[in-house]
Structure 1
Amino acid sequence: MTDALTGAPEPVWLECAQMLILRGDSEATLAVLDAALAQFPASPEVRLALAGIVFQQGSSERAESLLRGVLDDDPDCVAATFQLARLLKEQGRMHAVASVVRAGFQRERHDADLVIRAVELLDDCGRKREAAALCEHEIAAGSGDPRLHAYAGMLLTQLGQFELARKRQEYVLDHDLAGLEWHVPLGLTGLQRYADGSHPDFARLRRYLLLPDLSDQARASLLFGLGKAHDDIGDYAQATGYLRQANTIVHAATRWPRKRWRRSIEARLSRTLPAEQLAAPMDWTPLFIIGLPRSGTTVLAERLARHPEVCQRGELPWLPVLAEQVITGSGEYRERLQRAAVTYAAQLRQDDSSARWMLDKQPHNFMHVDLILALFPNARFLYCRRHARDNALSLWMQSFQAGTQDFAYDFTDIGAVIHGSRRLMKHWLTRYPDAIRTVEYEQLVADPASLLRSVADWLELPPHDLLSGNADSGSIISTASLWQARQPINARSLRRWKNYAAYVPELLQIPDN
């Protein structure tokens, strides 16, 4: 085939390669593109196409070399920038991703859609500082696109830059009511604890709530925001009214599969994985903070991450995917374990830290304790547990990203998750007592110094002050606790459910423990 193409113009070679790709003939595609590269060695289109094929076949080094060659010739080639960034992301080289994207967008202005793609890529890679900086670069250059301002507001909030975040979010609401769909009301109310109802946010959100033709998503966002604001000032009756409406809206749209959850717990309780276990890594320790959301996981992770030997990666999404590949995939079990360990380690360790303790605070990793210990026998788990009614109320008061905590809008569902998670954790604690330490939320907030010291000792962390001061403005907190976790630890939320018992009788159906 390559002989027949000799002397043909470049578009003909590329068209032939595209036809072979559609047929699924990767070997022939590679042969055609290799020959095309010999004919047109400076062609960015040929090099981009060839990089895609060789990466699919496992030749990541050659793919990277081809893409960097394109960018050496044309630093503003957006296609090469995104393709190289995705390659690096798959390898867990997030610092390199940030460098490539930053270089590709620092010289020329691009349309907002392209910039948002770049921001989303950086955000997905956990490079929130760089993502926020890219938003701010475009805003400083004159961009008035509300989507960029909304993204900037969200990222700046996660970075603790609350004053600038408010400015960005107010811009969105002043220029595009679509911001109500983007959870900007929740963003505004999450920036502080209100002292009284005279704050202008109260009137602003109530005014928006009166707008005609609001979507359910916009209405729920406003209601959750108003519920949070009224809770801050101790108006629990009004807070309950708003929160009940918000939860009803979201619950009707999600319909969390309670039976599937119960089956998944039973499956974990009865599952026995093969006895195969990989060798523990010698130079680093995987650390997992697990438990239900709103049980102290974020506060504990933020404090531990103040230790210079601990690097927090946030809530990584990888373990459910890898668990499925290990348990149901083809090939030898040990080989599947090894592939999963390599993939996860790359995403956890990345390329920007030499810390010895690498922290993943995805709460729902409690579903995979047995698999994690097969992958990393030296892994350690901190199991956060909170008074059930307080935990239930706190979940019900939050609006979570769609598809993450869809059980949190109905107390029967919340109760099922609390019950199932505790059954499973009792099982893991019996099987792996040396690998898991329970951290009671009530102890964490009542005597944080003693608890953090004992946790650090259990982990064998070198001595370090984990308590003094607040989180610096450069730390990243992406959960619903992003404001609270930056404040001094306090016991304000202990037995909080009692403030709502008269208005939310469903709480009394949850065991008082």
Structure 2
Amino acid sequence: FKQAETSFNEALRIDPAFVAASAGKAELLEWQGEYSQGMSLLQPLLAAQTDDPAVLTVYARLLRRTGDAGKGMDVLQPLAESGRVSGAPLRQVRFTLGDLSDQLRRYDEAFCWYKLARQYRPNTFSAAAHRRFIDDLLLRFDSKSTQQLNRSGNNSTQPIFIVGMPRSGTSLTEQILAAHPDVFAAGERSHIGRIVQQIAPLRNPTRAVLARHAHAYLNGLGDSSRAAQRFTDKMPLNFLYLGWIAQLFPKARIVWCRRDPRDTGLSCFTTNFIDPALAFSDELEDIALYSNSCVELMAHWQNTLDLTIFELQYESLVREPESILRELLSVLEL
């Protein structure tokens, strides 16, 4: 956030009339919960009766945050129906209208907006290709083969990989663990996926290759993580790569975040994901398929890998936070 704020401030210093920078900074302030500051930043543009889609969208989002969803609808619906917005900006407008309608308890209307938002691009997710990938993992890392795979020899106990479906509580889990003085929160790191791209073509990477990648991964965390007893990597889709993680970091701990699949599925469908890896969220059927494959694969990892895997049920965490967190910290040896 700090780097983004610095960049927006510099852009506005160079050109105070740079509308996109004002909209971007206001959006950043919304993410940080600084709603009144975001409103104040947009006021000169609104007073000048701007029709910029980015400004109107973030303004409507701020109105929702401050309890005035009805006014947000009045601002944004004419823009959505004007025909002058298309592509990604129209997608964001429709998602925002979905959120506004939801807050107004107009649930059928909200669902229609979310469906419209997801129609602006072709669905790039292939259920058949995903099924083949899962089947390949089950075969490659079966119980017999797993025992014969090389390991890196890196016995670091620092890594905690927080995995599961998106919107299943991974961010909440990392935020809670980050409050512990011995934990460094590294956020969503894409590094494991990139490492897998390099070593997956090798049927059984050598110890030296694995050690090199494990060392590079740890070095990429920077100095802040080295003093910590544990660090978290909360890239949810790392659940796909636990077979390779077991080879890279045999002493790593895994926290599998689980949540009622209906809540997870709805949350995925109503969230404007940009990452192409989350294209499955464009269709309800694909969300169900992906969610089921996550459960299937995680059950397989539990049966075949020596990794410590802790199941963290979101509903239990919310209902009984103290007892669940004590159990979690015990497993993580914190």
Is residue 352 from structure 1 mapped to residue 224 from structure 2 by the alignment?
Answer: yes
Q: Which residue of 2 aligns with 1:208?
A: 79
* Selected match of 2:54 from 179, 186, 193: 179
Q: CA deviation at 1:146?
A: 2.7
CA pair 176-190 structure 1, distance change in 2 beyond 3 A: closer
Is residue 275 from structure 1 mapped to residue 149 from structure 2 by the alignment?
Answer: yes
Code of the aligned partner of 1:133: T
CA pair 325-168 structure 1, distance change in 2 beyond 3 A: farther
Per the normalisation by structure 1, the TM-score is 0.58
Q: CA deviation at 1:265?
A: 0.8
Is the Cα–Cα contact under 8 Å of residues 289 and 359 in structure 1 kept in the other structure? Answer: yes
Specify the SS of the correspondent of 2:122. Answer: helix
How large is the Cα RMSD of the aligned pairs?
2.8
Q: Which residue of 2 aligns with 1:396?
A: 269
Count of aligned pairs between the two proteins: 326
Alpha-carbon separation, structure 2, partners of 1:412 and 1:217: 23
Alpha-carbon separation, structure 1, partners of 2:232 and 2:69: 39
Is the Cα–Cα contact under 8 Å of residues 129 and 159 in structure 1 kept in the other structure? Answer: no
* Selected match of 2:123 from 254, 275, 284: 254
Specify the SS of the correspondent of 1:289. Answer: strand
Is the Cα–Cα contact under 8 Å of residues 76 and 93 in structure 2 kept in the other structure? Answer: yes
Is residue 236 from structure 1 mapped to residue 113 from structure 2 by the alignment?
Answer: no
Specify the SS of the correspondent of 2:92. Answer: helix
Per the normalisation by structure 2, the TM-score is 0.87
CA pair 364-132 structure 1, distance change in 2 beyond 3 A: same
Alpha-carbon separation, structure 1, partners of 2:63 and 2:257: 25
Alpha-carbon separation, structure 2, partners of 1:160 and 1:307: 23
Q: CA deviation at 1:281?
A: 4.2
CA pair 232-336 structure 1, distance change in 2 beyond 3 A: same
CA pair 155-186 structure 1, distance change in 2 beyond 3 A: closer
* Selected match of 2:170 from 276, 297, 309: 297
Q: CA deviation at 1:448?
A: 2.0
| Paired residues for 1:448-463 under 5 Å | 448-461=321-334
In the alignment, structure 2 segments of 5+ residues that lack a partner are: none
Alpha-carbon separation, structure 1, partners of 2:124 and 2:318: 34
Q: CA deviation at 1:244?
A: 2.2
Is the Cα–Cα contact under 8 Å of residues 246 and 306 in structure 2 kept in the other structure? Answer: no
Q: CA deviation at 1:171?
A: 7.0
The percent identity for this pair of structures is 27
Alpha-carbon separation, structure 1, partners of 2:279 and 2:176: 28
Q: Which has the larger Rg? A: 1
In the alignment, structure 1 segments of 5+ residues that lack a partner are: 1-127, 462-513
Code of the aligned partner of 2:187: G
Specify the SS of the correspondent of 1:452. Answer: helix
Q: Which residue of 1 aligns with 2:209?
A: 336
Q: CA deviation at 1:210?
A: 2.7
Is residue 369 from structure 1 mapped to residue 242 from structure 2 by the alignment?
Answer: yes
CA pair 446-257 structure 1, distance change in 2 beyond 3 A: same
Is the Cα–Cα contact under 8 Å of residues 286 and 357 in structure 1 kept in the other structure? Answer: yes
Q: Which residue of 1 aligns with 2:97?
A: 226
Alpha-carbon separation, structure 2, partners of 1:197 and 1:158: 17
Is the Cα–Cα contact under 8 Å of residues 325 and 336 in structure 1 kept in the other structure? Answer: no
Code of the aligned partner of 1:306: A
Alpha-carbon separation, structure 1, partners of 2:208 and 2:175: 35
The one-character-per-residue Cα deviations of 1:441-497 (angstroms, maximum 9, x if unpaired) are 111222222222221122111xxxxxxxxxxxxxxxxxxxxxxxxxxxxxxxxxxxx
| Paired residues for 1:478-497 under 5 Å | none
Is the Cα–Cα contact under 8 Å of residues 196 and 233 in structure 1 kept in the other structure? Answer: no
Q: CA deviation at 1:438?
A: 0.5
Alpha-carbon separation, structure 2, partners of 1:224 and 1:302: 26
